[in-house]
Amino acid sequence: MSLELILRNANLPDGRRGFDIAIAGGRIAAVGSNLDAQAGEEIDASGRLVSPPFVDAHFHMDATLSLGLPRLNRSGTLLEGIALWGELKPHLTQETIVERALRYCDLAISQGVMAIRSHVDICDERLLAVEALLEVKRRVQPYLDLQLVAFPQDGYLRWPGAAETLARALDMGVEVVGGIPHFERTMAEGAKSVKLLCEVAAARGLRVDMHCDETDDPLSRHIETLAAETKRLGLEGRVTGSHLTSMHSMDNYYVSKLLPLIAESGVSAVANPLINIGIQGRHDSYPKRRGMTRVPELMDAGVTVAFGHDCVMDPWYSLGSADMLDVAHMGLHVAHMTGRADMTRCFEAVTTAPARILGLENYGLEPGCHADLVMLQARDPIEALRLKPPRLLVLRRGKMVARRDPLIARLDLPGRPASLDLSETAPLEKES
């Protein structure tokens, strides 16, 4: 077999150190220590972490990079964000959505993100954002997998015409069914929307990913209906509950009954720590609730849990940089997951776990997997979470699609080295 590339002396996310990764035909041909093989090109990873790419399981690409249009969110709440998006929608054009989304995908690739599940608002008779993001999906496909969720932002039952636009969006090629039951007018209508949307997904053989219970109201229990409908319709393994923030405020006894139901139904969960630490608890005085869902408890129950970025510079969140390590860093703090094993689980929550949720094929570091790889200026996942360092090399199907120089601080200190590699991976440069 003729090899195109060998990455030598790489540390892998599972703790294996100094391994070589051989690449042929855009796929991983072999992984081992001191591989006896030759390739057209060799790269010395020098003990740096080489990981499968980051995956963002929850994003809104139709709204990204629109910060300040038409105005800023003054209250910082979810509801003002939704109202603001409603003000912006009539002024959107397909060109501007495409242009902003492509710019965001450039940023994502530079951060080693190679797959994104983006919700796209279908509460628009023109389906402008759907058309725009389907075009973006086609254009970025060589370097990024974009999976689209038909998202009735203004409520599936609350917004007249949503059933019709949802069907059209799915006919056009949007591949996941979304929902927002806590935004419907009543609890009963929220539950009804979950049932109807799951039936649409079952009839079409699609996955489901709902914004579910993104509220501080402990009685918002649509996740229960989502899990029950998943079982009733045989959708196990194809359904995701996003946000689930009401679980933070729920009664512990009720949660002890709910967790096994979620696990049994094979519903996965996506927490969005950056956005929810900012949006939740806004009606509290002190103490202020954190509002993120119960991440370690869901993981302990056997539920697949991912962290999503959700928003970057849009009506809901004015920060963000497409860096899933930034997302996981916030998540592990908010969830009190600061132990070493827990931090490793948080790294998995932005790599392998969301890859499972999206159903990505041939993802990983096994022979036969796509040679989609990211080399970081860090030695292991925990150091990566700590430093959020440059992605030195991003490979898609074995070809370089982004690269960055290592971050080296130049020092001018008496009796101290002249430079400092923040990851301490490479030997310190000699004083010149």
Active site residues: 214
In angstroms, give the least distance from the CB of 182 to Fe ion: 12
Of 222-230, 310-318, 386-394, 395-403, which segment contacts Fe ion by CB under 5 A? 310-318
Contacts with 64 (C-beta within 8 Å, 6 or more apart), sequence order: 100, 101, 104, 311, 312, 313, 314
d(CA 27, CA 49): 19
In angstroms, give the least distance from the CB of 70 to Fe ion: 21
Under rule CB under 5 A, residue 229 binds Fe ion:
no
d(CA 101, CA 87): 19
In angstroms, give the least distance from the CB of 419 to Fe ion: 42
Output the furthest CA–CA distance in the chain (Å, rounded).
72
Instruction: Report the SS3 class of residue 164.
Output: helix
In angstroms, give the least distance from the CB of 116 to Fe ion: 12
Position of minimal CB gap to Fe ion: 310
What helix, strand, coil percent values describe the chain, rounded to 5? 35, 20, 45
Give the residue carrying structure tokens 């060998």.
6
In angstroms, give the least distance from the CB of 61 to Fe ion: 11
d(CA 337, CA 197): 34
d(CA 44, CA 46): 5
In angstroms, give the least distance from the CB of 242 to Fe ion: 6
Under rule CB under 5 A, residue 213 binds Fe ion:
no
Residues 69-108 contacting Fe ion, CB under 5 A: none
Separation of first and last alpha carbons in the chain: 45
Of 74-82, 225-233, 306-314, 409-417, which segment contacts Fe ion by CB under 5 A? 306-314
Query: Is 209 or 224 the residue whose CB approaches Fe ion more closely?
Result: 209
Under rule CB under 5 A, residue 20 binds Fe ion:
no
Helix (H), strand (E), coil (C) string for 288-322: CCCCCCCHHHHHHCCCCEEECCECCCCCCCCCCCC
Under rule CB under 5 A, residue 154 binds Fe ion:
no
Query: Is 310 or 314 the residue whose CB approaches Fe ion more closely?
Result: 310
Of 10-18, 94-102, 168-176, 305-313, which segment contacts Fe ion by CB under 5 A? 305-313
Query: Is 92 or 395 the residue whose CB approaches Fe ion more closely?
Result: 92
- Closest alpha carbon to 351 in 339, 365, 338: 365
Query: Is 249 or 276 the residue whose CB approaches Fe ion more closely?
Result: 276
Of 230-238, 307-315, 365-373, 403-411, which segment contacts Fe ion by CB under 5 A? 307-315
Of 9-17, 139-147, 303-311, 336-344, which segment contacts Fe ion by CB under 5 A? 303-311
In angstroms, give the least distance from the CB of 211 to Fe ion: 5
Query: Is 242 or 352 the residue whose CB approaches Fe ion more closely?
Result: 242
- Closest alpha carbon to 117 in 193, 199, 211: 211
Under rule CB under 5 A, residue 121 binds Fe ion:
no
Under rule CB under 5 A, residue 314 binds Fe ion:
no
Query: Is 149 or 202 the residue whose CB approaches Fe ion more closely?
Result: 149
Contacts with 333 (C-beta within 8 Å, 6 or more apart), sequence order: none
Number of chain residues interacting with Fe ion (CB under 5 A)? 1
CA–CA distances in Å: residue 49 to residues 214, 238, 307, 313, 322: 35, 31, 20, 29, 19
Under rule CB under 5 A, residue 310 binds Fe ion:
yes
Query: Is 62 or 380 the residue whose CB approaches Fe ion more closely?
Result: 62
| Type of residue found at 29 | A
Binding site for Fe ion (CB under 5 A): 310
